Homo-oligomer: A and B are copies of this chain.
Amino acid sequence: MRTLLAEEAKALLSACRIGRLGCIDNGEPYVVPINYVFTDGAIYSHSLPGRKLDALRTNPRTCLQVDDIQDDFNWRSVIAYGDFEEIRVPGDRELILNKLLSRFPSLTPVESAIVADAGAPSSIVFRIRVDRVTGVSED
């Protein structure tokens, strides 16, 4: 098992589409899968209101774990850490939703409605500015 270089870790973060977001909810760890885009050193995603957002608003420290697991002997896993930040400015929300759309075209029907209504608070758009990345590889 070897430690990944920062560039290797960031390459995996850029390549993946689904990650597992970890946060702390009432003193307990909480993990959920999310779709995301990693660009310019930040993770961008969106979410409907719920437990994940309640937890992140209370304790913004979070991590995103991504991996590429071929089999038990060939895999790499990366964790990116940062603080949760809500994007509230309508123009910024629209820009980020469009980034997510271009990455997840299958979401178009749902997300287009959100983009058309980018000022509405129903879908929360957020950023995690990555301040630390670690990764390991078995290959």
Interface residue ranges, A against B (CB under 8 Å): 18, 20, 22-24, 27-33, 35, 61-63, 65, 67, 69, 71-73, 75, 77, 79, 81, 104, 106-107
Give the CA-CA distance A61 to B25 in the complex, in Å.
12
Contact among B62, B69, B79 for A18, CB-based, below 8 A: B69
Contact among B20, B61, B81, B107 for A65, CB-based, below 8 A: B20
Contacts of A31 in B (CB 8 A): 20, 22, 29, 31, 63, 65, 79
Question: How close is A50's CB to chain B, nearest CB, in angstroms?
Answer: 9
Q: Is the CB of B33 within 8 A of A22?
A: no
Give the CA-CA distance A109 to B27 in the complex, in Å.
39
- Asked whether A61 and B27 contact (CB < 8 A) given A22-B22, A33-B69, A77-B32, the answer is yes
Contacts of A81 in B (CB 8 A): 28
Q: Is the CB of B20 within 8 A of A20?
A: yes
Give the CA-CA distance A81 to B51 in the complex, in Å.
15
Question: How close is A58's CB to chain B, nearest CB, in angstroms?
Answer: 13
13 more A-B residue pairs beyond the given contacts A22-B30, A28-B61, with a C-beta to C-beta distance below 8 A: A20-B31, A22-B22, A22-B31, A28-B81, A29-B29, A30-B63, A30-B79, A31-B79, A32-B79, A33-B65, A33-B75, A35-B72, A72-B107
Contact among B33, B104, B106 for A77, CB-based, below 8 A: B33
